């Protein structure tokens, strides 16, 4: 699978707020607004040899709650299974 065309992923604060609010209104993720990952672990995932970026997956944890799984993606567009992150600290309560 090929990697997608490069793009600028940055959005404005207003766009982010609108997207998040829309998902909350639709109960898109059972009240979970997001999650927190420690930067050092995300950097470790991204610094794997051959890692071109990361992919996130919506998931359901052992406790039945919504979560996100992060995986590195190699230059061929394939998931890397060396370092996988989950256990995001949910928002709420860990949020701004």
**pLDDT tens digit string along 23-62?**
666 666 666 777 888 889 999 999 999 999 998 887 877 7
CA distances from 17 to 9, 24, 82, 86, 87 (A): 15, 11, 33, 24, 24
CA distances from 30 to 55, 74, 87 (A): 22, 32, 17
The Cα 90–Cα 88 span in angstroms is: 6
Q: Is 74 exposed, middle or buried (0-12, 13-18, 19+ CB in 10 A)?
A: middle
Q: Which helix (H) or strand (E) holds 55?
A: strand 51-60
Q: What does pTM read for this prediction?
A: 0.75
pLDDT tens for 4-29 read 777 776 767 787 777 677 766 666 66
């Amino acid at each position: 699978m090929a990697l997608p065309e490069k793009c600028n992923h940055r959005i404005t604060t207003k766009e982010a707020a609108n997207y998040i609010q829309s998902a909350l209104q639709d109960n898109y993720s059972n009240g979970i607004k997001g999650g927190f990952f420690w930067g050092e672990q995300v950097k470790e995932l991204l610094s794997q040899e051959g890692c071109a970026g990361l992919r996130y997956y919506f998931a359901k944890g052992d406790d039945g709650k919504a979560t996100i799984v992060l995986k590195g993606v190699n230059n061929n567009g394939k998931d890397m299974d060396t370092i996988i992150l989950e256990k995001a600290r949910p928002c709420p309560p860990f949020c701004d």
